[in-house]
């Protein structure tokens, strides 16, 4: 996707969010930052360039979490900058490169001539849910499309939804209480049960020289892990709202 398309979608979102000039500039700069400076992730010894049309979930969510934590500490400049960077990858993912990339440039040229569908922006924001699961799912649902109009609608809709989810800091009612209840169940029942089951199974297997007790205990531990999934999901949501450690 060309800069013009990234910026057009960004301006439509910024208008809906009514961003002041400084935050608007940070957001729009972030939207083209990955093209200005080719991003690499990894270590100093070994790193790789981030692909734009097939961005890793890790890279996308890295920028989402940096943006979210910045908003939580009221650093709105960095928040909008990294939100823009995350949306850049989401928008590029919407654009199919086609067979061997032969039609890619022509598709981007056609896309750059299109107006941003305002209805897609509105619907995206209206359907947003402020949670890391929703944002992650939005990336997973974004598919490479060939028709320029379909690309523009999808990129606008998903970008607006993610933007609304990341900037919404209004905490759900009862979140802390639900987390505390699940945390007690996790700490006092499920985690000890999983560890104890494995320990007993390992001891019995060693004593009986048979893997059967260990296999059975592993099943019990797996059941505890499955029952603990609501705690894991809610733990991430609590972190999303900056409540962890409080």
pLDDT score, position 46? 54
**Token pair listed for 154:** 């999808």
Q: Taking the mean position of all CA atoms in its chain, how far away is CA 92? A: 15
Among 1, 21, 130, smallest CA distance to 11 is for: 21
Per-residue pLDDT at 179: 76
Instruction: State the average pLDDT over residues 107-127.
Output: 94
Higher local confidence (pLDDT), 121 or 1: 121
12 strand-pairing partners? none
Number of helical H runs and strand E runs in the chain? 12, 2
pLDDT greater than 80 at residue 37: no
Give phi and psi for 34, each to the nearest 5: -60, -25
User: If we measure between CA atoms, which residue out of 50, 81, 55, 87 comes closest to residue 67?
Assistant: 81
- Residue 31's SS3 state is helix
Phi, psi of 241 (to 5 degrees): -100, 10
pLDDT of residue 147: 93
**Look-up of token digits 């700490």:** 187
Q: Please, which pLDDT band fits residue 7 given cuts at 50, 70 and 90?
A: very high
pLDDT above 60: residue 230: yes
- Residue 52 has a pLDDT of 47
**pLDDT higher than 70, residue 231:** yes
Q: What are phi and psi of 101, to 5 degrees?
A: 75, 15
pLDDT in tens, 62-76: 999 999 999 999 999
List of E strands, 20-175: 40-42, 47-49
Q: Residue 35 above 50 pLDDT?
A: yes
Average pLDDT, the chain: 86
130 Cβ neighbours under 8 A, 6+ residues apart: 164, 165, 166, 168, 169, 170, 240
Average pLDDT over residues 220-232: 76
Q: How far apart are CA 156 and CA 141, in angstroms?
A: 13
Q: Give the least confident one: 17-26, 77-86, 135-144, 181-190.
A: 181-190
pLDDT at 104: 67
pLDDT at residue 118, as a whole number:
96
pLDDT digits (tens, 9 = 90+) for 130-176: 999 999 999 999 999 989 999 999 999 999 999 999 999 999 888 88
Task: Please report which confidence band the pLDDT of residue 30 belongs to, taking 50, 70 and 90 as the band edges.
Answer: very high
CA 221, 223, 228 angle in degrees (round to 5)?
Answer: 95
């Amino acid at each position: 996707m060309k800069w013009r398309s990234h910026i057009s979608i960004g301006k439509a979102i910024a208008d809906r969010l009514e961003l002041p000039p400084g935050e608007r500039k940070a957001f729009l700069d972030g939207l083209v930052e990955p093209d200005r400076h080719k991003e690499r992730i990894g270590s100093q010894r070994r790193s790789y360039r981030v692909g734009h049309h097939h961005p890793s979930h890790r890279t996308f969510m890295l920028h989402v979490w940096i943006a979210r934590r910045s908003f939580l500490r009221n650093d709105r400049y960095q928040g909008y900058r990294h939100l823009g960077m995350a949306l850049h990858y989401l928008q590029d993912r919407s654009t199919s490169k086609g067979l061997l990339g032969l039609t890619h440039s022509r598709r981007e040229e056609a896309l750059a001539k299109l107006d941003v569908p305002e209805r897609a922006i509105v619907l995206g924001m209206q359907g947003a849910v402020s949670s890391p699961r929703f944002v992650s799912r939005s990336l997973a649902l974004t598919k490479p499309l060939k028709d320029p109009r379909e690309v523009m609608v999808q990129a606008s809709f998903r970008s607006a939804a993610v933007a609304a989810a990341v900037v919404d800091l209004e905490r759900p009612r009862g979140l802390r209480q639900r987390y505390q209840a699940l945390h007690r169940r996790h700490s006092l029942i499920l985690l000890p049960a999983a560890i104890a089951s494995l320990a007993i199974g390992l001891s019995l297997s060693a004593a009986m020289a048979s893997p059967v007790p260990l296999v059975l205990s592993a099943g019990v531990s797996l059941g505890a892990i499955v029952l603990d999934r609501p705690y894991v999901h809610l733990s991430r949501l609590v972190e999303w709202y900056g409540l962890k450690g409080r």
